[in-house]
Amino acid sequence: MRITDFILGGLTAIVLFCFVAAWLYVKFKRKQAETRIAVDKLTGLPAKQQHKLLVSEALKNQQGSYAYVSCDIIDFKCFNEAYGYECGTDTLRQIASVWKENLREKEQLTRISEDHFCMLLEFESVTELEVRLRKLFLKTSEEIHKDRGGKHHLSFRSGVYIIEGNQNVNVIRTRAEMARMQAEQCRCTTIMFYDKENVRRRLWEKELENDIKKAVEERELLVYFQPKFDVKSEKVTGAEALVRWNHPDRGMMYPESFVPLCEANGYICTIDFYVLEEVCKRLKQWEENGCKLLKVSVNFSRMHLHHRDFVEKLKNLLTKYDVDPAYVEIELTESIAYGEVQNLVNVMKQIKAAGFGLSMDDFGSGYSSLNLLREMPLDVLKLDKEFFGEYEESTGREQKIIRHIISMAKDLDITVLAEGVETEQQKEFLKESKCDMIQGYYYAKPMPMDKFTTYLNQISA
Ligand code: C2E
Ligand code: MG
Ligand code: MG
């Protein structure tokens, strides 16, 4: 090898080495700049340039649920006008400080522009998230309110996006911003969830599904009784058991908000037996206290029709509490699929054979086939409350239909009970039409079981 070749090779190696070293140095500096968190001078929060990086870092490999919230102050410009720019700046600083104090590990808060903040929040449930946000807003508005001598009350508007899996931060933020815009447009709420109808309902249902299982174990389900009255004597002759859910966060919930969901996931079967068990306990208690026993009806979903051991389970529960089935009436609705009719009739026959009372609920609300009445071993036909909802506006034709149903049921030895009776006029019409029983707000609303016992004592005193 010549000496010149040797020198050339050495020089190339040195140049290459310098390039690599310079490239590594630049990379290192960039990384260093990235990790050094720039700060928003006004609030001391991480600067908006850092926001995206911080949010994606926080979301990496996370197991929990996260929501992205975009919020601003309603009429902040007016606030600035009224109290001056300095006061406005001070207010923003206070808000940032209060919110920051309430952040949990991994959560993020950044001021994006003037009065516009963005947060990444971890949550357990949508309800918890909503409650927490409201508290956060209230806390800040109250604090500022107090400091201004009660002169100005700040209100916030926010858009919330529930993050689903591994999503791009830009997408997440855009959706939260869209929800905030929606909140601005409708002017109806301070917290607006992105695609509220779909996203929130889905989560809400999931939470309810989880909660309902706990509700049964923790005995959060309550049983209310609504009295049934004999039309002629106007005396209480029975009661219907209706379920309520005293939810720890949502408060008292009515069947329409959870029964359909439980019918869809099959959990209604557990609920119905829970209600029957409470009814059995109460009947036993009445008997032990020497009270006059009333027949209590319990609603059973059509889901039970798919269970071969349904009637067996009914019998076992009554045996367990030593209750005579003659004091329990099983209410089934007519809203069943055409193919289920024969099965329904079979189950009804078994229920009757076991000694229970049997009623058909909400008669007239679906596609009742009068022909079915021939086959069903019914004791009671409950006329749906829709019949009387618009009674004042009802025509002679509708009243004729009610009269005919009553007279036909009587021919078949079936007792007729009218549900949802609210006025004197409706009651008088039913009396004239020879209806046997009435249940409705006109006499009494459903009430807790203890209150019902007191109510019975009062009206019979
Ligand atoms: P339903 O069995 O037809 O019960 C009658 C409903 O009408 C009750 O509503 C009662 O509070 C209401 N009501 C009674 N009188 C009046 C009145 O004068 N005016 C009006 N507007 N309403 C009146 P609730 O308790 O909300 O129950 C709704 C439905 O939920 C029930 O209708 C029943 O289908 C279902 N449900 C209730 N408890 C249970 C249960 O334990 N199991 C099952 N499977 N379903 C249940
Ligand atoms: Mg009913
Ligand atoms: Mg009904």
pLDDT of residue 312: 98
Q: Amino acid identity, residue 46?
A: P
Atom index in ligand 1 nearest the CA of residue 389 equals: 21
Using DSSP's 3-state secondary structure scheme, residue 331 falls into: strand
Confidence of residue 28 (pLDDT cuts 50, 70, 90): low
State how far the Cα of 43 lies from the Cα of 90, in Å rounded to an integer: 9
Nearest to 373 by CA among 407, 403, 350, 397: 407
Same domain for 179 and 269? no
Whole-number Å distance, alpha carbon 269 to ligand 2 midpoint, is 15
pLDDT of residue 13: 82
Does residue 77 surpass a pLDDT of 60?
yes
Residue 189 lies in a domain: yes
State how far the Cα of 264 lies from the Cα of 331, in Å rounded to an integer: 19
Whether ligand 1 lies within 6 angstroms of the CB of 384 is answered as no
Whole-number Å distance, alpha carbon 361 to ligand 2 midpoint, is 5
Range of the domain at 430: 213-460
Residue 311 lies in a domain: yes
The structure's pTM equals 0.64
Of all protein residues, the one whose alpha carbon is nearest to atom 41 of ligand 1 is 243
Whether ligand 1 lies within 6 angstroms of the CB of 19 is answered as no
Inter-residue contact 363 to 334 (CB < 8 Å)? yes
Only one residue has tokens 């609030």, namely 43
Percent of the chain, pLDDT > 70?
A: 90
Whole-number Å distance, alpha carbon 393 to ligand 1 midpoint, is 23
Nearest ligand (C-alpha, residue 331): 2
Whether ligand 1 lies within 6 angstroms of the CB of 278 is answered as no
Of all protein residues, the one whose alpha carbon is nearest to atom 17 of ligand 1 is 420
Same domain for 303 and 163? no
Same domain for 219 and 189? no
Rounded (5°) CA angle 398-404-406:
105
Whether ligand 1 lies within 6 angstroms of the CB of 419 is answered as yes
pLDDT of residue 142: 67
Using CB atoms within 10 Å of the CB of residue 69, give its burial: 0 to 12 exposed, 13 to 18 middle, 19+ buried.
buried
CA 17 to chain centre: 66
Confidence of residue 259 (pLDDT cuts 50, 70, 90): very high
pLDDT of residue 12: 82
Tell me the average pLDDT across 386-402: 75
Does residue 212 surpass a pLDDT of 80?
yes
State how far the Cα of 439 lies from the Cα of 418, in Å rounded to an integer: 6
Nearest to 183 by CA among 207, 205, 161, 199: 161
Same domain for 255 and 164? no
Whole-number Å distance, alpha carbon 99 to ligand 1 midpoint, is 44
Nearest ligand (C-alpha, residue 243): 1
Whether ligand 1 lies within 6 angstroms of the CB of 441 is answered as yes
Whole-number Å distance, alpha carbon 382 to ligand 3 midpoint, is 7
Token reading at 318:
């009554």
Whether ligand 1 lies within 6 angstroms of the CB of 23 is answered as no
Q: Which of 329, 382, 385 to mutate to test the pocket of ligand 1 (most atoms within 8 A of CB)?
A: 385
Tell me the average pLDDT across 47-74: 91
What are 353-384's pLDDT values in tens digits?
A: 999 999 999 988 776 667 778 888 999 999 99
Whether ligand 1 lies within 6 angstroms of the CB of 329 is answered as no
Whole-number Å distance, alpha carbon 231 to ligand 3 midpoint, is 18
Same domain for 145 and 242? no
Look at residues 144, 162, 194 and tell me which one is the last residue of a structural domain.
194
Q: What is the CATH number of the domain that holds 280?
A: 3.20.20.450
pLDDT of residue 31: 61
Look at residues 194, 226, 248 and tell me which one is the last residue of a structural domain.
194
Same domain for 188 and 220? no
Q: What is the CATH number of the domain that holds 110?
A: 3.30.70.270
Distances (CA, A) of 438 to 48, 234, 429: 66, 9, 12
Confidence of residue 199 (pLDDT cuts 50, 70, 90): low
Q: Amino acid identity, residue 64?
A: G
Q: CA torsion sign, 212 to 213 to 217 to 218?
A: negative
Look at residues 194, 228, 257 and tell me which one is the last residue of a structural domain.
194
Residues with a beta carbon under 5 angstroms from ion ligand 2: 299, 331, 361
Tell me the average pLDDT across 7-29: 78
Domain tally, the chain: 2
Nearest to 362 by CA among 305, 299, 319, 422: 299
Q: Amino acid identity, residue 415?
A: T
Q: Amino acid identity, residue 371?
A: N
Atom index in ligand 1 nearest the CA of residue 255 equals: 30
Does residue 33 surpass a pLDDT of 80?
no
State how far the Cα of 453 lies from the Cα of 437, in Å rounded to an integer: 20
State how far the Cα of 142 lies from the Cα of 131, in Å rounded to an integer: 16
Confidence of residue 431 (pLDDT cuts 50, 70, 90): very high
Residue 14 lies in a domain: no
What are 91-119's pLDDT values in tens digits?
A: 999 999 999 999 998 899 999 999 999 99
What are 146-185's pLDDT values in tens digits?
A: 555 556 678 899 999 999 888 899 999 999 998 898 788 7
Mean pLDDT of the chain: 88
Token reading at 243:
């379920």
